[in-house]
Structure 1
Amino acid sequence: MIPVVMCVDDDDMVQVLSEIMLNDTQFCSKIIQLQDGKFACDYFVEQMAKPAAEREMPQLIFLDINMPVMDGWEFLDVFANDYQSLHQQIKIIVLSSSVNPLDEAKANNHPLVLSFVPKPLTIEYLETLKNHPAVANYFH
């Protein structure tokens, strides 16, 4: 089980459904839910200000693309530039309702993104994800 998963999405219903799926599959111990990329950036600033032993960092982030204030692409830019020390320990999956094939291609080609997944999160996808080399060590 992954200790901490972060869900960054402005859609409350997606947040509720994701929480249900993550709990039903016993995917993680804790879920951090944030409304947009700015809140996620603020979270990392707050955590990095703490001593290392007190930080609560996610091991996986489900990131929406289209959000107000700061979208997923902007968050990825900040995370890529400001948090290089976290790149190895934190994996990112773009979870989006975008039907634009360019968004999927951009996500799949981004060096910090494991994959692009259409909303909503499903039990089948989470069960498959448990076998992905980037997170399988948490489940086997």
Structure 2
Amino acid sequence: MKRYEGLEGILLIDDDLPTNFIHKKVIERAAVDTAVKSITNVQEALDFITHSGIYEHTAEIPRPGLIFLDINMPGLDGWDFMEAYNRLDLRFKARLVIIMLSTSLNPEDKSMALIDKEVVTFLNKPLRPEMVTALLDHYFKEIV
């Protein structure tokens, strides 16, 4: 199992429970030693990151160093998440790497995602173990 500096956890933000389940299994197959949390809506994800709402007294739960964010969700979507995220205090986002995910083949989605300086890349679903490994090796330092 690989461990990475600054990667206490990975957060999956996607309204589709089967996709979250599959992506969690993909991360496990990538042999990453980290906590994986899946959340199905934007507001809960923001609460998790900022230790507010139902996560107010949960400092013991590992917070993410990496977020896989779905674009298309009912209600608040990935774009809404990024708008709110960009307004957060720096202490909540200092060490976060955000990857936008989508099944959309619309090139405008990728262009819009990459305009946001907080989004490091845009990938098409589903995740695969080699994608996860490549991202972690690129954005985090492996602990040997």
Query: In the alignment, does 2:19 pair up with 1:14?
Result: yes
Whether the 8 Å contact between 1:9 and 1:34 is mirrored in structure 2 is yes
Q: Runs ≥4 in structure 1, deviation > 2 angstroms?
A: 44-51, 53-56, 83-88
How much identity, in percent, do the aligned residues show? 28
Aligned with residue 74 of structure 2, among 68, 74, 80: 68
Whether the 8 Å contact between 2:13 and 2:42 is mirrored in structure 1 is yes
SS for the counterpart of 1:114 is strand
The aligned runs of 1:47-126 (5 Å cut-off) are 49=56, 54=60, 56-126=62-132
The offset of 1:66, in angstroms, is 0.5
The offset of 1:102, in angstroms, is 0.7
Count of residues in correspondence between the two structures: 137
Give the distance between the partners of 1:62 and 1:84, measured in 2 at CA.
19
The one-letter amino acid of 2:29's match is: D
TM-score computed with the length of structure 2 as normaliser? 0.84
Give the distance between the partners of 2:128 and 2:33, measured in 1 at CA.
15
Whether the 8 Å contact between 1:93 and 1:114 is mirrored in structure 2 is yes
Give the distance between the partners of 1:39 and 1:11, measured in 2 at CA.
15
The one-letter amino acid of 2:120's match is: L
Give the distance between the partners of 1:84 and 1:91, measured in 2 at CA.
13
Give the distance between the partners of 2:78 and 2:116, measured in 1 at CA.
12
Cα-Cα RMSD? 2.1
Give the distance between the partners of 1:55 and 1:33, measured in 2 at CA.
13
In structure 1, runs of 5+ residues without a counterpart are none
Give the distance between the partners of 1:19 and 1:126, measured in 2 at CA.
11
Which protein, 1 or 2, shows the higher relative CO under an 8 Å CA cutoff with sep ≥ 6? Answer: 2
Give the distance between the partners of 1:114 and 1:28, measured in 2 at CA.
22
The offset of 1:118, in angstroms, is 0.3
The one-letter amino acid of 2:98's match is: I
Whether the 8 Å contact between 2:113 and 2:119 is mirrored in structure 1 is yes
77-86 or 65-74, larger mean C-alpha shift: 77-86
Change in CA separation of 1:54 and 1:130 when aligned onto 2, cut-off 3 Å: closer
The offset of 1:96, in angstroms, is 1.1
